[in-house]
Amino acid sequence: MKTRPYRSRGALYYKFAWGIGSAIKQNIHIPGGCTDSPISTARREMVDHWIELGHSPGQIVGAIGKWRRKPTLN
């Protein structure tokens, strides 16, 4: 498991990648903008911290998924 930058439309963004051993099987974009964004950088640091703490890929993907949800007006 690791976070890493990737290029899309000329800008760099972060993604969380996981798999078995050294083989990366899946990855998910970390929302918050390009790597220059303080939000994106803070979220990448959070994901790196969760990896260090031993959280499972499922737990991390669940947390990232909550960042993607937009608030609804009721």
Q: Each residue of 22-35: pLDDT tens digit?
A: 777 888 999 988 99
What's residue 59's pLDDT? 93
Asked whether residue 74 is domain-assigned, the answer is no
DSSP 3-62: EEEEEETTEEEEEEEEEETTEEEEEEE--SSSTT-HHHHHHHHHHHHHHHHT--HHHHHH
Asked whether residue 10 is domain-assigned, the answer is yes
Total number of domains constituting the chain: 1
At 25-74, the pLDDT tens digits run 888 999 988 999 999 999 999 999 999 999 999 999 999 988 876 665 65
Structural domain that includes position 39? 2-68
Asked whether residue 73 is domain-assigned, the answer is no
Asked whether residue 44 is domain-assigned, the answer is yes
Asked whether residue 38 is domain-assigned, the answer is yes
Asked whether residue 14 is domain-assigned, the answer is yes
